[in-house]
Amino acid sequence: MQIALKIDVDTHEGLKTGVPALARILRSEAVTASFFIAMGPDNSGKAIRRIITNRGFLSKMLRTRAVSMYGWRTIMSGTLLKPRPVAMAFPDLVRELSADGFEVGVHGYDHVRWQDQIDDLGEDGLEQEIEDAFQVYRAILATEPRGWAAPGWRTNAVALRLLEERNLLYRSDTRGSAPYRTQVYGKLLSTPEIPTTLPTLDEVLGREHLPDAASIAAFYKNQMRADRLNVHTLHAETEGIGYLESFALLVRGLKQAGAEFVRMDAIAAQLDRESLQICPVERGILAGRSGWVATQGTSNGA
């Protein structure tokens, strides 16, 4: 059974606190993972404020332990207080991850702007987000990014086409079942897409009764499938801060079951692009998540 742990880092606090805690567990278990880090400012306060103005915010805040996980400084970031940088605030930490054998990929520049405004930014705006993210990545790691994971699993035809020009080894923008390629404006993109295959913890907590760390770990262990690549997206702000114990239990349980942990770039390097299935990128709604995400549509051939 192959498992790729895709760890998204959306915020300053997530990188500062969540990432070192997750990396400590991964190192002690000798397990690898892929970290996707937002390269620009942390405007997550804007996103959280939007949740607060939506109906049902209180139950969501309580259910996901938003305040205890993010802290008030994050909730205010980019609203009354100046946004703090994510990757650029901790360049040594990012370099250390890479030197330790973890993969470091790009999780956009301004996570909130990408997620909220992707269809309004236009070609110039999207290109600016991508270019800014790549520049920060290069400045920190002195190498070209190979993997891109869209903030909030949101993409569109223009973004896909712009990213295709970057000659990435792969993208991980969507939710789906297995790696594929897609077409944009009738043209088949060469960059493979490696979708997230499992629900995220914040989605699951809203719909399953999982009262403790052991039940969360058991739920995920049951979701893993032996017959395909399992891509599990975690959040530095969720598993890394509020749910470290269930994460450690899950990793240990999977190891005992003989799972093989793989980096996303290693999977991508082994893909035969020519024989990959071709699927449309669609938009869908997931239980436990507000708004749309990009999803893998039904294969229309290889």
Distance between CA atoms of residues 49 and 17, nearest Å: 22
- Does position 10 interact with Zn ion (CB under 5 A)? The reply is yes
- Does position 8 interact with Zn ion (CB under 5 A)? The reply is yes
Angle subtended at Cα 203 by Cα 61 and Cα 177, rounded to the nearest 5 degrees: 160
DSSP state of 82: P
Query: For Zn ion, which is the closer residue by CB, 70 or 181?
Result: 70
Distance between CA atoms of residues 53 and 79, nearest Å: 14
CB 111 within 8 A of CB 44: yes
DSSP state of 88: G
Query: For Zn ion, which is the closer residue by CB, 181 or 233?
Result: 233
Query: For Zn ion, which is the closer residue by CB, 1 or 204?
Result: 204
210 by DSSP, 3-state: which? Answer: coil
CB of 187 to Zn ion, least distance (A): 28
- Does position 202 interact with Zn ion (CB under 5 A)? The reply is no
Binding residues among 137-156 for Zn ion as defined by CB under 5 A: 151
Binding residues among 151-180 for Zn ion as defined by CB under 5 A: 151
Query: For Zn ion, which is the closer residue by CB, 94 or 259?
Result: 94
CB of 8 to Zn ion, least distance (A): 4
CB of 24 to Zn ion, least distance (A): 21
CB of 14 to Zn ion, least distance (A): 9
Q: Please report, to the nearest 10 degrees, the dihedral formed by the alpha carbons of residues 229, 232, 233, 236 taken in order.
A: -130
Question: Which one of 7-15, 18-26, 67-75, 293-301 is the stretch in contact with Zn ion (CB under 5 A)?
Answer: 7-15
Q: Identify the sign of the CA torsion 188, 294, 46, 110.
A: negative
The number of residues making up the chain comes to 302
Query: For Zn ion, which is the closer residue by CB, 37 or 279?
Result: 37
Q: Which residues bind Zn ion (CB under 5 A)?
A: 8, 10, 151
